[in-house]
Structure 1
Amino acid sequence: MRRRKFIEAMSFATAAGVVSSTQLLAAEYKANRLGPYRNDREYWCELLYKIASPVVSNLASGTLKKNMPLEKSPTFDSRSLSVTYLEAVGRTYAGIAPWIALPDDNTREAVLRKKLRADAITGLNKCFDPSSPDLLNFSKDYQPIVDSAYLAQAFLRAPKALWEPLDSLTKQRIVSSFKSLRNRKPFNSNWLLFGAITEAFLLSIGEEYDHVRITNGVDSLNDWYKGDGWYGDGPNLAFDYYNSFVIHPMMVDTLRILVDHKLAEEKSYELALIRMQRYAVGQERMISPEGTYPPIGRSITYRTGAFQALSQIALMEKLPESILPAQVRCALTKVKQNMYSIPGTFDKNNWLTLGFCGHQPDIADYYTSTGSLYMATLSFLPLGLPETNLFWTQAPADWTAKSAWSGKSFQKDYHVDY
């Protein structure tokens, strides 16, 4: 069937005249890889909605705790399982924020986006109400430090879509919840940035903020920088995806707020951005010709959240000159297809299950439960670019590893010193 579709597409193009290699690649890409979807963007939108909707729609209905399954790692530690709900909310909102910030139109995508945005606002107004069955936990355990940070990052990514429409009482409750975290110190690791970005959000809305908590996060990570785009997670280097899950995106976003409020110099932000761009080069090259990537280190059950750094650089339209937007789009599309088409990845109600590729609960870490998995949404950030953006309109292109392993020309790579 797929081969026939490709032949039909190629025959039609040939009949119209001379066919360029780019046209052939585009025809093959559409015929063989997208299935029922018209283009990559449609596939991304439908997939993100599938992942995010169970969290957001249940929160809006006041049924998140009632309906969200509570699957946890076989080695889950002594923390309260109640932290899983804030995990699901904070992480999902951080991933959908750029997309739901786009203006409405009459497309199917906009219908999905509008529904998700409305549910997101309704859900936030409910889950901070002390009488709500979905009241989120900010007071117990240390884990809320983490997921408050992702919720704060969501507000920074889409202030007009997610923060401004909230009612005034909900805003007060969120601010109070964020400030309540100050009785717990983040661990001496990437966690310092969780405290930093939460305080940076408070600063951005004119609230009293903890200056030490912000600067300690930024200063410590700068001290731990190892070179060539890699920060240490603490004093030592951890060869995993935490530079993408947390460090680069939250470092850059925190510094942007500090610079805007004249609490840091522009050059500090520019340096963090350059380092993130360098890291993104490595991320793009890490995607194999087949659209897979190494299951390295902690938290691999966060799935495509491993590519948040590359996705955010694409959203910011700051990809290095050596990387075409289409390379990133095509590579991440293939990764998503490989990962999310595996049976067992979703349960019968479309909740994510513990695993990397399918249902593999034994690989989950001691801190992992159902809510943790919604870090996966963070690879969808480029949906915040309109469909007319080059990221979506550029002709399909091979990513670096695919070019390299097919004998095509590709750019060499060198260590950098910044």
Structure 2
Amino acid sequence: MDLPRDDRVLSPYTGYTRAHWEAAADALLAAVEPYAGDDLALYDLPGEHTSRSGRLSDGLEGYARTLLLAAFRRDENVLERYAAGLAAGVSGVWPRIEDRSQPLVEAASIALALRLTRELLWDRLDDAVRGRAAAWLSDALTARAWPCNWELFPVTVGGFLREIGHETRACRTAVERGLERIEQWYLGDGWYTDGDGRKFDYYNGWAMHLYPVLHAWLEQDEGLLDRYGDRLSRHLADHARLFGADGAPVLQGRSLTYRFATAAPLWLGALTGRTPLPAGTTRRLASGTLRYFLERGAVDERGLLTPGWHGPDETLLQDYSGPASPYWASKGFLGLLLPPGHEVWTATEAPGPTEAADAVTAVGPPNWLIQSTRSDGLVRLHNHGSEDVRYDPYYTRLAYSTVTRPSDSCDNSVTVGGRAGRTGIEPLGTGEGWAASRHTVADAIRVTNLVVAEGAVEVRAHLVTGAAAGTPVRITGWAARDGARSELLPVFGLDDALTGTVTGPSGLFVALARLTARPDPPPLRELVSVTVEDTCELVVRWATGTERRFRFTVPDEPSALSEPSVRTVPPQVTGNP
């Protein structure tokens, strides 16, 4: 990809400016053009058509998701190509929008693009094409959606169709229904779960916030914008902490092949004025994640986005992923809607939270602990409350980071009796420097988990209950990764191989863990002392002078973990663990 030279004056962290974003958008749009069909309605990108929707739907996906990029870029010549494709698509080429069908997803991208570029595309179509396009889109108003972020696709379609005066009553119903549905999934502090359960991931930013905030902004409805914009602003305070200093987002959740779509909510906050972030920090984070992926093989030799994370990687895909699925990354170019003179483009880049200071941040609704270190720019996410309805290693592990990915050997897990599964995750709370949860391993076996963190160091404690005496237990830490050092040391109940045995009605197992990119970090045992008192009270004494006590209680009580006291003591290590 041919990009301008870095500008290290305006952008001292990434070198990227608006010109880089424009050039990247132009290159991505030019690369997909040869794969458009003769009528320009379908984009048949190379790759295995293994998605559950089929080849025709995959072609529509290629059209819709790249149209969204063209809409943000607002290049009239490119939009003419998509106008021709629209005319052909609604004349019988595109599959109908039916209940819970992939075309419902793509209809939202098409409707949003048409609304954003109305004077450049829609208003230039003849009446017959507009009529057929509105009729095709209108099926989205009544199609049943999957009970998750899909509920927002009829909202997006309804907003556009109501604006052009098509079936306004049905549009109003669809919009109100969708917005009402997501209310039951809003858990406060800027966080939604993606449908029933506790599915927390990047869909919060690139779907659950994106669509309602854009809808309110385009409607110029200040009441709606206050509601959804304020939620977005609160969410961004946490979202901004999920990027490493190298621009990498934390590798957690599903649909990770959308890559730099993680930048979309950052731009959205700036676009609507609902963000806690300085303009220079917004651009630094967004440009950082774009550069991160472009420099690591996200785009192949043909200029196409590949299904994967860095380069192609089928292990990262879901059953709905097709060759064009990665182009939801187009959402990351939302910032191009901001004019060149906007402060988000003219301000000097400012550091992101990871570069500003070491931090251990508790995030209440998902029951997460975000741990970042300035010295190496790494971010670690301790997961004590997010779980998908299906088994997915990107949801079920105890921790994720910006430099590691789940391994086949079940990293960041507790294996009891040879079983490492983690289901039925119950959040038990978060606090200053800690998070806790409980999960089921098998049958009546449950594990109560606690992580206490400071700097790059973690104390991990696991109370196993319901297992027969003699049951073996194994603790695993971070997967190995080039450029980062992983450590796991036994403290209590474990031998040097990080294995132990349940000896009574319950067993407590404690270890020290660290993931760091520092070449020569201080020894772990010099940074923290951990002791267990009365078999159930954990005492953590940091070398910085803070002491924390945690008492494990019977799992059937309302709380399986309490923190009766947190007090500061003179800076000293009181003894080896």
Give the TM-score band, short-chain normalised. Answer: 0.7 to 0.9
**Residue 145 to residue 71, structure 1, CA distance change in 2 (3 Å):** same
Corresponding residue for residue 398 of structure 1: 351
Q: Which residue of structure 2 lines up, in the alignment, with residue 383 of structure 1?
A: 336
User: Does 2:101 align with 1:142?
Assistant: yes
CA distance in 2, matches of 1:388, 1:191: 35
2:77 is aligned to: 115
Equivalents in 1 of 2:110, 2:290: separation in Å? 24
Q: Which residue of the partner structure matches residue 19 of structure 2?
A: 42
Between the aligned partners of 1:27 and 1:197, the Cα distance in structure 2 is: 36
Map of 1:107 onto structure 2: none
Q: Distance in 2 between matches of 1:66 and 1:385?
A: 28
In 2: Cα distance, 1:66 partner to 1:290 partner: 33
1:157 aligns with 2:116: yes
CA gap of 1:310–1:253, structure 2 versus 1, over 3 A, is: same
Shift of 1:385: 1.7
- Structure 1 unaligned spans of 5+: 10-24, 101-112, 261-265, 408-413
What does residue 280 of structure 2 align with?
326
| CA distance, structure 1, for counterparts of residue 31 and residue 248 of structure 2 | 26
1:370 maps onto 2:323 in alignment: yes
Aligned 8 A contact 1:149 1:197 in 2: yes
| Aligned equivalents of 2:347, 2:334: Cα separation in 1 | 18
55-64 or 174-183: which moved more?
55-64
Partner of residue 316 from structure 1, selected from 263, 272, 281: 272
Structure 2 length-normalised TM: 0.57
Name the counterpart of 1:357. 310
2:25 and 2:73 in contact (8 A); partners too = no
Q: Secondary structure at the match of 1:96?
A: helix
SS in structure 1 opposite 2:187?
strand
Structure whose CA Rg is larger: 2
> In the aligned structure 2, how far is the partner of 1:67 from the partner of 1:236?
36
Counterparts of residues 94-243 of structure 1 (less than 5 Å): 94-100=68-74, 113-130=75-92, 135-139=93-97, 142-182=101-141, 184-209=143-168, 210=170, 211-243=172-204
TM superposition score normalised by structure 1:
0.77
* 2:78 partner letter: L
Distance 1:27-1:89 versus aligned 2 partners, 3 A rule: closer
Matched-pair contact (CA < 8 Å) for 1:71–1:353: no
Q: Does 1:68 align with 2:29?
A: no
Percent identity between matched residues is 24
Alpha-carbon separation, structure 1, partners of 2:207 and 2:23: 25
Greater share of strand residues, 1 or 2? Answer: 2
Measure the CA separation in 1 of the matches of 2:189 and 2:300.
Answer: 40
> Partners in 2 of 1:340 and 1:82 — Cα distance?
29
Amino acid of the structure 1 residue aligned with 2:256: I
Q: Relative to total residues, which structure has the larger helix share, 1 or 2?
A: 1
From 90, 107, 115, the counterpart of 2:64: 90
Pick closer, same or farther for the CA change 1:139–1:290 going to 2, 3 Å. closer
Q: Secondary structure at the match of 2:253?
A: coil
Per-residue deviation, 1:92 = 2.2
Q: Is residue 61–residue 123 contact of structure 1 (8 Å, CA) maintained in 2?
A: no
The structure-2 alpha-carbon separation of the partners of 1:182 and 1:27, relative to structure 1 and needing over 3 Å to count, comes to closer
In 2, are the aligned partners of 1:60 and 1:124 still within 8 Å (CA)?
no
2:68 and 2:113 in contact (8 A); partners too = yes
Code of the residue aligned with 1:51 in structure 2: it is: L
CA 1:315–1:183 in structure 2 vs 1: closer, same or farther (change >3 Å)? Answer: closer
Root-mean-square deviation (CA), in Å? 2.9
